[in-house]
Structure formats: structure tokens, C-alpha cells
Amino acid sequence: MRSSNNVGLEVNLFLGKSVTQGVRGTRDFYPEDMRLRNWLFDNFTDAALLHGFDEYDAPVLEHEELYTRKQGEEITQQLYNFEDKGNRKVALRPEMTPSLARMVMARAGALSMPIKWFSIPQCWRYERTQRGRGREHFQWNVDIWGTNEISADAELISILVTFFEGVGLTAKDLVIKISSRKVLEEVLGSLEISGDIFSKTCIIVDKMDKLPANVIEEQLIELGHNSDAVSKIQSILGIKNMDELSNSLGKESVALSELNSLFNSIDSYGILEWVEFDASIVRGLAYYTGAVFEAHDREGKFRAICGGGRYDKLLSTLGSKDLPATGFGFGDMVIMELLAEKNLIPELISGIEDIVIPLNPELRSASVMVAAALRDTGRTVDLVLENKKLKWAFKHAERIGADRLVMLMPEEWKSNKVRIKDLESGEEIDVPFEEL
């Protein structure tokens, strides 16, 4: 919005932009947005707490080198990084996993394993902004460290399903696609390709649904794969069921047996309808080592709702002894798009129960006492602070969805009473101050 007079215009313009506009790709949360955000975060938190997880947090600012991995991941090219006033290279975190790794490393030996932790950090990535993708987002992170049991990966899927059910989504709306990095690792291993080239291959094929096939092929060839390897990669990633996978990898395959255990474990939670095998899921981060998964809307309209997997070797890349770990990150943007599409966004009201209004200025201090007395009983009270007419108070009450209007009227207050109107039933009663 621009001011109409010249002075205002001068003040309101900043680097050619209106100062009312935030930095591109960032969001403001007005109270109605904040109510929704809190509702979403409460659902995230409830699903994690129900599964016995503890909450943690870390600073948004970290040492840049925590993220300078060299495998060509998009995330490291999208860093918000700068030098601070002490010439330290720092970055706004693009994801939570390295901070979590740092925290675990700092207390290695002192933490009793396994740890089950969750957090809802704001993350920053200099991305091309588009539907469901911003330059900042909040990302629910749920991770288990210290066990290599596949049951931990199944527990994560259960947390996801608990959340989805909590917000009213069903297995008809979305699917959690599961695979394992070991599938591709075995195929490439048979061609004697491993290590760095393997993780770089994963990062390239993760972009399969975003880039044309020939571009992916070119990138694979540039990485050093011959055309035989490229077609092997393409054919394995096209597999969408476990029987076909078994035929392709052979009965002895470790990837196959781990995936079978994972699906069996998910079956024992009774949530098999929410998952399916899809070999094209490899994830775009270098550190994953085993099972990987992503939730997608069934219609395929949106980008991934969330993603995660096992990353047993992250600590050694940071110079420490490895610890098995598995987890996921779940952004707040795509899920809200999906909930809006399915008409599942709740109507949330302010949570204010009482509006206290003095009907003349002389009753102001009395109204403060009444508001305080009601607040002492635990009721949430919006005290009208200026001279307002009753008509305004009724409109205001309707707008914020209050339950009651508490009126201080000259005659009634003389006998120490306030008039309370129940806004739903319309009923009015006079209540003595000491009985509030």
C-alpha cells in the first residue's frame, strides 16, 4: 500500500519497494494466520508426544561449514550465508538435521540411546519461490538416533499417519512412498560404482520428476556413468512393486529384505494402506543411507509433503564416530495447500471468552477490577479500553467469537452488580461482583 501524499510516499519507499512488503519469499503471520499455524504445530507436536518424543531446539544461525558438503546438493547452493562482524562465516539453517547432529555429537556418550526428539524450526533456503515453496518455511523434524532397527523407521511412519489422521486426511488423499538407497546402491555396486559417485547419482535422479529425462541422462553421463549404467539406473527406478524388485535384485538382496521387514512392521501398526513401494524415491540429500520415504498427494498436484529416511553415516562426515539415525522433515507449506484443497482448514476463533465494557468513563476503573476478577477465575478477557458504544461491543464480540459480554452499567454497579449477556442464548443476568 502506498501513501497518497508525497511525504508518505517518500517514507514508504525503500529500495524501490514499499516498506510494507517483506523480503521476497518470506511470510507475515497476522493473528488469523498465527491461529492456523499454532493449530498445525499443535497437531505436529501431539503426534510426536503421543509417540514418546521430546522437543528440542537450536539457533537459526549456524557455522556455514556445517552445510558445506560437496556432493552438489541444491540445499548447499541455496544457503543464506554471510560473514558476521567478527569475520565468521555463518549461515541461516536450511534444514535442522546438521544442527541436531551437532547437538548429539556435543553430548556423545552422555545421551542415553536411543534418543527420540522433535522440533519445529524455521529454515531458510534461497529457492525459486513457487506454490508450496518459500525462502523460509517451518519444518517439523522428527528423528530417532542410536538404533539401526528398522522398527524405528516404521515408528516414524506411524507418527506421520497419526498426524495425517489428526488433521482429517485419509489414505485416499495421500500416500507415503517408500524405498531404500540400498536398492540403487546394490545396482551400482554390481557395476563397481560407490562412494561419492553413488551419492551424487542419488542427487541427480532425485530430480527425475522435475527435469526432462534427457537432462537427467546428460547429468548422469557427465558424472561418469556409461550408457549401460544409465539404463540400469532408469529401469530399477521405474519399479513400483516388491515382486518386481525381488526379480530384479534377487532373493539374497539386503535392500529387499530390509524393505520387506519395514513393510511387515508397518503392517503390524495397521497402516499399510498409507504406504507403497516406489523405487523412484531416493531423496535429494547426500547423507541418506537406507530406507527413504516421501509423502505425496494422490493426485500428484503438489510437491512432496514431507520427506526423510535413514542417515547412519552423517556423523563421520562431520568428523565424529557414526551413530545410526533416521528421521524426517515436514514443511508447513504444502500441507496447508493440501488441507485447503480438501476443505480441511478449520475455522479458528480468537479464544476470547469475555468482553468487559464500561458503559461510561466513570466506570473504567471498576471495569478493570471486573476484568481482573474474571481473569483470576481463568477466563480469557478482552477489556474495552476506550469509550465505546454497546453497539460496537456487540459487533466486536461477533467478529471475534466471544461467549459473553460483561457490561458495567451505572445503576447496576451502584449495587455492585454487572450485567452478563450470554451471546449464544441471548440470556442476560445481573451477577454480584463477588460471585464472578
| Residues engaged in binding ligand HAM (CB under 6 A) | 75, 95, 97, 125, 127, 133-134, 137, 139, 141, 143, 285, 304-308, 311, 327-331, 333-334
Compute the chain's Rg from CA coordinates: 28
Distance CA 337, CA 342 (A): 9
Largest CA distance in the chain: 94
For residue 428, the minimal CB distance to ligand HAM (Å) is 50
Q: Is the Cβ–Cβ distance between 194 and 185 less than 8 Å?
A: yes
Under DSSP, is residue 206 helix (H, G, I), strand (E, B) or coil? Answer: coil
- 253 versus 289: smaller Cβ distance to ligand HAM: 289
- 230 versus 305: smaller Cβ distance to ligand HAM: 305
For residue 373, the minimal CB distance to ligand HAM (Å) is 46
Instruction: Report CA-CA distances (Å) from 300 to 63, 114, 304, 355, 387.
Output: 37, 35, 9, 46, 54
- 135 versus 232: smaller Cβ distance to ligand HAM: 135
- 34 versus 369: smaller Cβ distance to ligand HAM: 34
- 263 versus 311: smaller Cβ distance to ligand HAM: 311
- 141 versus 219: smaller Cβ distance to ligand HAM: 141
For residue 182, the minimal CB distance to ligand HAM (Å) is 17
Q: Is the Cβ–Cβ distance between 310 and 289 less than 8 Å?
A: yes
Pairing mode, strands 174-180 and 275-277: parallel
Residue that the C-alpha cell 498465527 belongs to = 34
- 259 versus 304: smaller Cβ distance to ligand HAM: 304
| Burial of residue 105 (number of CB atoms within 10 Å: 0-12, 13-18, 19+) | middle
Instruction: Report CA-CA distances (Å) from 276 to 205, 265, 279.
Output: 19, 13, 10
Distance CA 43, CA 169 (A): 12
Distance CA 101, CA 399 (A): 46
Distance CA 418, CA 411 (A): 10
Q: What does the DSSP assignment read for 10-59?
A: HHHEETTEETTS-STT-----HHHHHHHHHHHHHHHHHHHHTT-EE----
For residue 418, the minimal CB distance to ligand HAM (Å) is 49
Instruction: Report CA-CA distances (Å) from 221 to 188, 208, 224, 238, 294.
Output: 14, 15, 5, 19, 27
Interhelix angle 242-249/181-189, rounded to 10 degrees, is 20
For residue 231, the minimal CB distance to ligand HAM (Å) is 27
- 91 versus 245: smaller Cβ distance to ligand HAM: 91
For residue 78, the minimal CB distance to ligand HAM (Å) is 8
For residue 95, the minimal CB distance to ligand HAM (Å) is 3
Q: Where are the alpha helices (DSSP H) in 129-212?
A: 150-166, 181-189, 195-205
For residue 177, the minimal CB distance to ligand HAM (Å) is 12
For residue 399, the minimal CB distance to ligand HAM (Å) is 32
Question: At 171, which helix (H) or strand (E)?
Answer: none
- 313 versus 396: smaller Cβ distance to ligand HAM: 313
For residue 127, the minimal CB distance to ligand HAM (Å) is 4
- 201 versus 367: smaller Cβ distance to ligand HAM: 201
For residue 121, the minimal CB distance to ligand HAM (Å) is 10
Total residue length of the chain: 436
Q: What does the DSSP assignment read for 272-340?
A: GGGEEE-TT---S-TT--SEEEEEEETT--SS-SEEEEE-TTHHHHTTS----EEEEEEESSHHHHHHH
- 312 versus 412: smaller Cβ distance to ligand HAM: 312
Q: Is the Cβ–Cβ distance between 415 and 436 less than 8 Å?
A: no
For residue 306, the minimal CB distance to ligand HAM (Å) is 5
Closest CB to ligand HAM: residue number: 331
- 198 versus 302: smaller Cβ distance to ligand HAM: 302
